[in-house]
Amino acid sequence: MRKSGPPKGLISYLVLELLDERPRYGYELLGEITEISGGHWEPSYGSVYPILYKFEEEGVAERVERADEPDRKYFALTDAGREELAEKRRAIGGEAKDFGDVVLGFYHLYAALATDERFAVDDDEGEWEFSERYSAWIVEQTIRHHERDFGEFERIDDTPEEFHAAANGGGGGEGAGGDAAADESGGDAIGR
């Protein structure tokens, strides 16, 4: 269970990967991370810029001058930055459960605001609302993205306990851990 927002180190990892492609400036990094999230999440300026300045101080990144944009602060990865990136890749690779917990946790909260009688939010006739219709749209979009990135979506009937037991080599239902499509794509289904 996650006790806060995105897994620790996610933003610095994304910054390192993007700087490894080419030099970038802070606002550009924010835009690219937002684009990677499908426009649904943007880290704050207060998280990206301190990371860049910390990387510069530690020798992980360095400022580069551009004659066509002398007032912008571009940063490029150094050799030490590439070493840091290799370490971050390993660290983030171990955070898949935390990512799943964030996604599922916020979806469960969304559904609770739509269905739990203890909550009586006023949708204020806005563009969005907490309802079955919008919940279905969120699930549909998730399935579409899954199919775009991994291929045809197949339901997994395992409970979370069965799924995790099978994924960790303890047997369990047919859909968990042994799904050839998930194994080939590197994807990891998450129990409901």
pLDDT in tens, 149-187: 999 999 999 998 898 888 887 654 444 444 433 333 333
**What predicted TM-score, i.e. pTM, was given to this entire model?**
0.76
pLDDT reported for residue 164: 84
Q: For 2-16, 126-140, 154-168, which range has the lowest pLDDT when averaged over its residues?
A: 2-16
- Average pLDDT for residues 18-23, to the nearest whole number? 97
19 and 30: one domain?
Answer: yes
Total domains in the chain come to 2
pLDDT reported for residue 3: 62
- Which CATH number characterizes residue 68's domain? 1.10.10.10
Can you list the positions of beta strands (E) in the chain? Answer: 24-25, 61-64, 74-77
pLDDT reported for residue 44: 86
Please determine, for residue 40, whether its predicted confidence score (pLDDT) is greater than 70: yes
Domain boundary among the residues 70, 93, 116 is at 93
pLDDT reported for residue 126: 74
Give residue 163's identity as a one-letter amino acid code: F
79 and 100: one domain?
Answer: no
Domain boundary among the residues 33, 67, 93 is at 93
Structural domain span for residue 34: 10-93
pLDDT reported for residue 13: 96
pLDDT reported for residue 191: 41
CA distance 122 to 185: 41
Whole-angstrom CA distances from 80 to 77, 87, 156 are 8, 11, 43
CA distance 91 to 13: 9
86 and 101: one domain?
Answer: no
